[in-house]
Amino acid sequence: MHALFELYEQQSVDTAFWHTFASYHAPYNPNPRFDLDLASFGVCKVMNDGTLIPKRAFHALATICTQPTTP
């Protein structure tokens, strides 16, 4: 994700949008064989009880979005 946003910055792209917050139809499972979340683009894991847990991508996006842009 950082590499993509660096490329966008170099090319003067003003806005980029991450398309999925959470994949509610693909819940996390600690067993990788049953972890549908592994294939999701969501930045949060959906737990079996419906709660959300931020993934590394969530924190990376938060860092990227709080950095000042080059004029």
Mean pLDDT per block of 10 residues along the chain (71 residues) reads: 80 75 93 94 93 92 77 60
Give 54's strand partners. Answer: 44
Q: 13 in a domain, yes or no?
A: no
* pLDDT computed for residue 71 by the predictor: 60
Task: Kindly report the pTM of this predicted structure.
Answer: 0.70
* pLDDT computed for residue 36 by the predictor: 94
Considering its fold, how many domains does the chain have in total?
1
Q: 71 in a domain, yes or no?
A: no
* pLDDT computed for residue 38 by the predictor: 92
Q: 57 in a domain, yes or no?
A: yes
Domain interval for residue 39: 2-8+18-66
Amino acid identity for residue 60 in this structure = A
Q: 58 in a domain, yes or no?
A: yes
